[in-house]
Amino acid sequence: MRPGSLLLIDLLTCLRFATRLPLPVFAFEAAAPQDFSDFGRALRLFPVAGALIGLSAAVVLAAASTLGLAPLLAAPLSVAALIAASGGLHEDGLADCADAAGGATRPRKLEIMADSRIGAYGALALGLSLFIRIVALAAIAERSLFLAGTVLIGAAAAARAAALIPLSVLPPARSSGAGFSAGRLRAPTLVVATMLGAIFAALTISAGANPLRPAFAVAACVLAGLAASALARVALGGQTGDVAGAAEQMAEILFYLVFAAQI
């Protein structure tokens, strides 16, 4: 198989996992779309899928602003577009990890994370995530709509690279789920994903951002991924898809805050 075809198949795998897009089955795909046997390899392009999700949110932000909506109204619509495109995949992971904090033992924590219901800790974590992202995005859009659009793209890409850190440094905590399907990612996968996340973050420079901003934002995303990994190691002894989702949310919040800060 040609390298170009392999890259396209990997991107389609990431899009099918990370979005709710009704993608057709293409003739060049050897395996069924629901076959995630090469999931670990495909995740190198996870930031590209994230960038496309961020682009959809940026289009919504621009459209809402063109219709005359103030940033404080356009920002929640844009964040809603992010959630709609991904099906709330990472928000669900954040809520599950927050709820698991109430578990006394590792088996109990894993049991809580597998429960589809959201508890008080999960609801609070979701509320804070939405509030911080919306207000930070509105603050950026007040200064520059173009910058806010590139931040949406860069954050969605870099944060998804950060989500792979727990999958790279920790073994699976259970024998099923997305974390188990991905396995323990190889270092080259994480390196490629991080580089792609940094490239999309650098788009903010074209919108007038100081080059140090995207550099700090990517560094903050890496720290978020490492922090989520450290917490998961202590609490669960390994990683799950929910841990990766929580890492993504933490990284996305920090990315926004780096650009919203008045410094």
Distance between CA atoms of 198 and 221, rounded to whole angstroms? 10
**Residue 96 has which token pair?**
């599950």
pLDDT interval class at 7 (50, 70, 90): confident
* Burial letters 22-48, b for 16+ CB under 10 A, else e: eeeeeeeeeeeeeebeebbbbbbbbbb
**Residue 229 has which token pair?**
């990994």
Distance between CA atoms of 253 and 217, rounded to whole angstroms? 10
CB-count burial class (<10 Å; 0-12, 13-18, 19+) for 216 = middle
The phi-psi region of residue 185 (left if phi > 0; otherwise alpha if psi is between -120 and 50; otherwise beta) is: beta
Whether residue 251 contacts residue 220, with contact meaning beta carbons closer than 8 Å, is answered with yes
Q: pLDDT tens, 51-84?
A: 999 999 999 999 999 999 999 999 999 999 999 9
Q: pLDDT tens, 106-151?
A: 889 999 998 888 999 999 999 999 999 999 999 999 999 999 999 9
